[in-house]
Amino acid sequence: MTEYDRPFSIELPAKRQAVTMAATVASWLGYIPSLAGDKELPDEPPKALPASWYYSPEIYQLERRAIFSKRWILVTHKLRFTKPGDFLRFEEAGFSFVLCLDREGNLNGFHNICRHRAYPLVSEDEGNVKILSCKYHGWSYSLNGKLAKAPKFEVVPGFQKENQSLFPVHVHTDALGFIWVNLDSSPNPVPWEEDFDGVDRQERFQRFDFTQYKFDHTWQMTGDYNWKTLADNYNECYHCTIAHPDVARLADLSYYYTVSTPGHIQHFSRPKPDKVDEDIQNASTYYFPNACMTVSPHFFYMMRCVPTSATSCSMEYEVYRHIEASDEDFEYIDSFFKRVLDEDKHLCNAAQKNLNAGVFVNGQLHPDLESAPLFFQNTVRSLLKSHSDEERKINREIWPARQHSAGQATAEDVAFCLGHYNFNMISFRQCLAIAALPLAHTALALNDISSRAQSATNLCGDNDYIILESSPWIVYNMLYNAAQMVGTQCTNYDGMTTSDSGTKEVLWSSVTDIDYVASTNNVPKGYSFVGLTQNLETKLSAISSIPAVYNWTPTNTTEFKGNICFDFMTNDVKGDSTSSSSRELMLWLQYEGGQLPIGWTNGPAATIDNLFGTSWTLYEDINTDTGITVSTLMPTKQFEGSFSGDLKNWLLAMADLGRFTESTYVNVGNAGYL
């Protein structure tokens, strides 16, 4: 009995019959099991998040939804706003927004988007204005965000200026004057105190009077690394002895430690005894998700590590100088920190290259010296999993920052784009992806099979297919008993769309039209599926992960008999998926109408516990038509409409049962309706 610790939250919507399917790259959540060569130790140190979390575009888009458009973010200090009309422009993970001081002394936040045609209102990073004016069509807004003028719209029937204010951003100023924003469009976002209560009342801040500092300058660096790479780096000084000679020379690193609490990480350090007179004492805090602040008697600086893509970021720095700091003291401490921060940039750039290379999975972290990076990573993991669970419940992405315009027409158009309309088809919505397979080969022999054009089409032949351009997928209609069928079974390619996260989605459907006669059991024996044409013929040991999401909605069920499954082919010979030495692996997610796997009459061959959140029973035997051994896993609790998980865990579980080894080739991979 094999056990894996990758549970996934499963949604069980109402069942129907039929099949519109969509394939997209999935977000990968949770740890990947240990690969060959990793030692299983009784007290194994904790491991970092997998490398894929540091380069996956899908994880980045999920972070934009789950973190950067939902949590409070530290951005600046009130010292930067001294008179009405002062404004600052910020970017956070692709979201652009503006903070502006109005004539009543209120600090307001707005998305940097004109309500007319989405043109950016502000292009400068900072400045002073009397009014916010769009340079596209001339719409203008007062400093409180209300629409002041929309040229020539006064003659448009039904136009209401009061409904055209700028999209607001929540703003909070803490007790020390630091300014936070929350981009959630809800009028009641998560309370600031939920994560940061007391962060502005730290005892170590009491010796610093923040009103005695003044804003001095900003500076910026770009990094070719994921924003979390820098967060991991910043939140430990395990590397300081080797990588930061200035720090090692001045600081007592044997004393350094961190304290992690919800929302922030406090860093504690002290100078070496012979360096106390140099007055380099400071207090540093990391504020989740991506900001930090260090204050010293001479200055304080803020850093925001702004994500610009899955593998790039911009470090934005604000430097404030104490009003009594001498030029010599200020320049010394300022240059000291800039050297250290530049060293960190080069460390992160180099590490990210290897994270991107597809070799490294994750490493063991020191439970004490790297406790803060572990705390940070656990926070990221928890927020992403929680948000992903909510998305699976409603079968669509949730973008908290998205604004909602009034109007029935808008709602209908948005619903149409999201595919909420059901056109009375037999349809499943499906998402499938295989990632981090280094080789690219075609897995199916397609020479003698009729192909179709790239446009939407119905595939009703015995072996009919369409290879999707600019994608690794094929949509395929396969029938085993076409001559005996009474009726038809067609697999329809309906098109390809792009989700809000930027991932491609293949829409397809399987439609069965027969008059079922129980006495003859004249069901169509076939397979409708989306299969991979690339990134296959790879050894299991070389695959870092196979993230997959599969959602389906059956409709019009009448005497339905079939199953929803993943279907892989393995062999010790690269590319061989047809000889008797091959093994067919099937992961049945839902099965109805008495459909039974090959080997059912033999009884269970093995069981697996806690794989994808449930237990499984293995049935297997030789398919007498092909001579290939078929190994089918059936869940104790069926997945009625939704599945999400890393399919490599399935393959590893089968390897642990001795069905093959990690040197076995994965030659075919698809998902569909059998």
Q: What is the CATH number of the domain that holds 305?
A: 3.90.380.10
Q: What are phi and psi of 508, to 5 degrees?
A: -150, 160
On whether both 606 and 647 belong to a single domain, the answer is yes
On whether both 59 and 96 belong to a single domain, the answer is no
pLDDT for res 644: 84
Q: Going by C-beta distance under 8 Å and a sequence separation of 6 or more, which residues neighbour residue 407?
A: none
Q: Which position has the token pair 């500076």? A: 219
Give domain status of residue 380, yes or no.
Answer: no
pLDDT along the chain (674 residues), means of 10: 25 26 27 34 71 94 97 98 98 98 97 97 96 96 97 94 95 98 95 95 94 97 98 96 87 89 92 66 93 95 97 98 94 92 96 94 93 96 93 84 68 56 30 30 32 64 76 76 63 74 68 60 65 81 83 65 84 87 91 78 90 93 87 90 88 92 89 77
Q: Three-state SS for 124?
A: coil
Give domain status of residue 546, yes or no.
Answer: yes
Helix ranges (DSSP H) in 541-659: 648-656
Short-list 233, 113, 106, 232, CA closest to 168: 113
pTM: 0.60
Handedness of CA 18, 20, 24, 27 (dihedral sign): negative
pLDDT for res 276: 58
Say which CATH number the domain at 560 has.
2.60.120.180
CA distance 284 to 537: 50
CA distance 365 to 45: 6
- Beta strands 629-635 and 538-539: pairing type? unpaired
On whether both 81 and 26 belong to a single domain, the answer is no
Provide the residue range defining the domain that includes 321. 209-360
Q: Three-state SS for 308?
A: strand
On whether both 565 and 633 belong to a single domain, the answer is yes
On whether both 165 and 259 belong to a single domain, the answer is no
Give domain status of residue 368, yes or no.
Answer: no
pLDDT for res 554: 72
Short-list 81, 140, 340, 124, CA closest to 132: 140
Write out pLDDT tens, residues 455-471.
677 787 777 788 877 67
Residue 271: count other Cβ atoms within 10 Å of its Cβ: 17
On whether both 565 and 423 belong to a single domain, the answer is yes
Give domain status of residue 385, yes or no.
Answer: no
pLDDT for res 671: 82
Say which CATH number the domain at 121 has.
2.102.10.10
On whether both 261 and 139 belong to a single domain, the answer is no
- Beta strands 2-3 and 606-611: pairing type? parallel
Domain boundary among 360, 377, 409: 360
Question: Do residues 561 and 593 lie in contact, with contact meaning Cβ atoms separated by under 8 Å?
Answer: yes
Give domain status of residue 372, yes or no.
Answer: no
Domain boundary among 168, 201, 234: 201
Report the domain count for the chain: 3
On whether both 190 and 263 belong to a single domain, the answer is no
Give domain status of residue 333, yes or no.
Answer: yes
pLDDT for res 499: 62
On whether both 241 and 259 belong to a single domain, the answer is yes
Give domain status of residue 527, yes or no.
Answer: yes
Helical pair 227-234 and 327-356, crossing angle rounded to 10 deg: 120
pLDDT for res 234: 97
132-133: strand order across its sheet? 132-133, 140-141, 147-149
Short-list 14, 41, 174, 23, CA closest to 505: 23
Give domain status of residue 373, yes or no.
Answer: no
Question: Do residues 557 and 586 lie in contact, with contact meaning Cβ atoms separated by under 8 Å?
Answer: no
**How many residues are given for the chain?**
674
pLDDT for res 510: 76
On whether both 229 and 291 belong to a single domain, the answer is yes
Write out pLDDT tens, residues 70-107.
999 999 999 999 999 999 999 999 999 999 999 999 99
Short-list 629, 644, 528, 627, CA closest to 583: 629
Question: Do residues 634 and 617 lie in contact, with contact meaning Cβ atoms separated by under 8 Å?
Answer: yes
CA distance 672 to 567: 8
On whether both 27 and 75 belong to a single domain, the answer is no
- Beta strands 20-21 and 168-173: pairing type? unpaired
Q: How open is the CA angle 211-217-221, to the nearest 5 degrees?
A: 130
On whether both 580 and 452 belong to a single domain, the answer is yes
Structure tokens, 231: 């967060």
pLDDT for res 625: 76
pLDDT for res 425: 27
Domain boundary among 169, 201, 233: 201
